[in-house]
Amino acid sequence: MPEGKREGFSSTVTLAEWIAPGMPLWVGLGLVAASFFTSALTAAFGLGGGVTLLALMSFALPVAVLIPLHGVVQFASNAGRLGVQRRAVRWDKAMPFILGGLIGAAIGALTVVTLPEAVLRLLLGSFIMMTIVLKLPALGRLKDWQYALAGAVTTFLSMFVGASGPLNAVLFTRAFSERKQVVATMAAVNASQHALKVAAFLVAGVVLGPYAVLAAAMTVTGFLGTLAGTSVLGRLDERLFRKALNIMLIVLAFELVRRGLAGLIG
């Protein structure tokens, strides 16, 4: 091989290790691009992006850093969406939920004996499916302590399944009648959950430093996706929004159940 080609190949490998340690450069760049599209999806519909990105990242990252690194990227994505859509947030419902999340994250960080990930996915998917099919009371009339309990439970679950956005969507979709309030309030609670989750993993000793460049790049493209998705949200018909959201919840619930069963059987 000519000298010039060897040098070019070497620089490419170095760049790949710098951006995405342990994976080909094209995979790292693919994750950066995926962050844009999944953030746009969530900004427009309130959910779907986090779970989709987690699935894509699971093919490229070690299990030990998958959920905490996904948490870093999703915190940035949700924080960016919160900044853009902050005027539509229902803080009267979000704050009790966030405070409850503090308890859920603390329990998750201290838990030694945990349910297998496959069981948690199966339970989460089954619960989401039941809440869509069954008629539930008006969740907008829940008391503050009930929102705090929901925050504790879903934050705890997010420590193990990575993305609890579909479960949060079930709660806040039924609580509010205006789509912008749904998406903005979910941005607030999801950002808090991911921040608490990442903090708990760092306290537990997880090292994310080698992936800092990848996380930063995905954060930038994620914010650009948020801007694109928010512009779509403003033009959506309310009935179309609700129907699309329910379809996405059903698909995600089936996928969680499928992966849970596959994990138990396999």
pLDDT tens digits for range 21-57: 778 888 889 999 999 988 888 887 766 777 778 778 8
pTM of the shown model: 0.72
Q: What is the mean pLDDT of residues 89-118?
A: 80
> Cβ distance 100 to 147 under 8 Å?
yes
| Extents of the domains making up the chain | 3-265
- C-alpha torsion angle, residues 153, 123, 195, 190 (rounded to 10): -90
Coil, strand or helix at 48: coil
Q: What percent of the chain lies above the pLDDT cut of 70?
A: 80
pLDDT digits (tens, 9 = 90+) for 231-266: 877 777 767 777 777 787 788 778 878 888 888 886
Region of 89 (left: φ > 0; alpha: ψ -120 to 50; beta: rest) is beta
* Helix 3-19 × helix 25-45 angle, to 10°: 40
Residue pair 96/145 in contact by the 8 Å Cβ criterion: yes
**CB distance 156 to 108 below 8 Å:** yes
What pLDDT does residue 89 have? 92
> At residue 118, does pLDDT exceed 80?
no
Instruction: Return the structure tokens found at 53.
Output: 């990105």
- pLDDT of 141 higher than 60: yes
- Longest Cα–Cα distance of the chain, Å, equals 72
**Which residue did the predictor score with more confidence, 205 or 83?**
83
Cβ 192 vs Cβ 96: under 8 Å: no
